[in-house]
Structure 1
């Protein structure tokens, strides 16, 4: 059973996290993502790969440091280390709204059903839900609210400016 959702549907995860990067020649083939620190250390070598490439950010990392490379990244993984820490919400909005990133933004860590709707509004389009979360229940969370008042990534106009 999968615990991965992409574009509001259960999906197979085609990405492999990779750490301990010492040489690009040791990388597996296929889609990989690396921690931000390793991205910074091996950026030029990583950009020569022909497979999908992604970066995993801690919620304390500055997304602006990726701004010049966003068109070359297929995936950005944002971490929720605990439920009460929402810095990744801001990172996702910045990536979508300020930097125009159109690739996959994935939520990992303490990803809970109650936050899915809001994560999606902020620009997340992929989610690794915790094993204790029920997939069907989480999928219903996308549609629980039908009217939103505030502007967000999914609806840039506030309700009073919509026709």
Structure 2
């Protein structure tokens, strides 16, 4: 079984991420699934009728506010990072947590590496599907890269200069 980092621990991944190409939609496996936003929108009724947990993954070009009215139907939102250098997913994560109030699991998927985990956490991610060719137990150390943060964000909204002044 695949592993993910959830919170501050390595755990079994009980979800199946369904990645489809443009030619055909694969048959969904039994159990909890994470589908693309496009598939969720096209097959919402059938997905909800399955009686399992549903998650949606967003591409960097997807608008996260589309999901706000669907929060009650979703157990997980994943954000795809197709390349290490593509940071649009950080903004999506911050918007989901900070502006739209998503309280459930927020998972980083795709080209997820140890060097990024601390910064994913800063903008609200709490689950990480580390790239398969990397050691997930070693990657876990990335959550502790820094002992202090200067700027405010989701994990520490008060900037350091204000905390010191208090």
**How far did 1:2 drift?**
4.6
Moved more, 52-61 or 42-51: 42-51
Q: Contact 2:3/2:13 (CA < 8 Å) preserved in 1?
A: no
Q: Contact 2:113/2:130 (CA < 8 Å) preserved in 1?
A: yes
Cα distance in 2 for residues equivalent to 1:81 and 1:160: 35
Q: Contact 1:33/1:53 (CA < 8 Å) preserved in 2?
A: yes
Partner of 2:5: 5
Distance 1:29 1:133, change over 3 A: closer
Partner of 1:122: 123
TM-score after normalising by structure 2: 0.87
Aligned partner of residue 11 in structure 1, secondary structure = strand
**How far did 1:3 drift?**
4.2
Question: How many pairs are equivalent?
Answer: 159
Q: Contact 1:16/1:32 (CA < 8 Å) preserved in 2?
A: yes
**How far did 1:28 drift?**
4.1
Aligned partner of residue 49 in structure 2, secondary structure = coil
Equivalences for 1:1-163 in 2 at 5 Å?
2-18=2-18, 19=20, 20=25, 27-162=28-163, 163=166
Deviations 1:5-49 (A, max 9, x none): 11121110000124526xxxx754421111111111122332334
Cα distance in 2 for residues equivalent to 1:42 and 1:135: 33
Moved more, 5-14 or 35-44: 35-44
**How far did 1:133 drift?**
2.0
Moved more, 113-122 or 43-52: 43-52
**How far did 1:152 drift?**
1.0
List runs of 5+ in structure 1 lacking aligned partners.
none
Aligned partner of residue 160 in structure 1, secondary structure = helix
Cα distance in 1 for residues equivalent to 2:50 and 2:124: 26
**How far did 1:137 drift?**
2.4
List runs of 5+ in structure 2 lacking aligned partners.
none
Moved more, 111-120 or 37-46: 37-46
Cα distance in 1 for residues equivalent to 2:43 and 2:155: 34
**How far did 1:136 drift?**
3.0
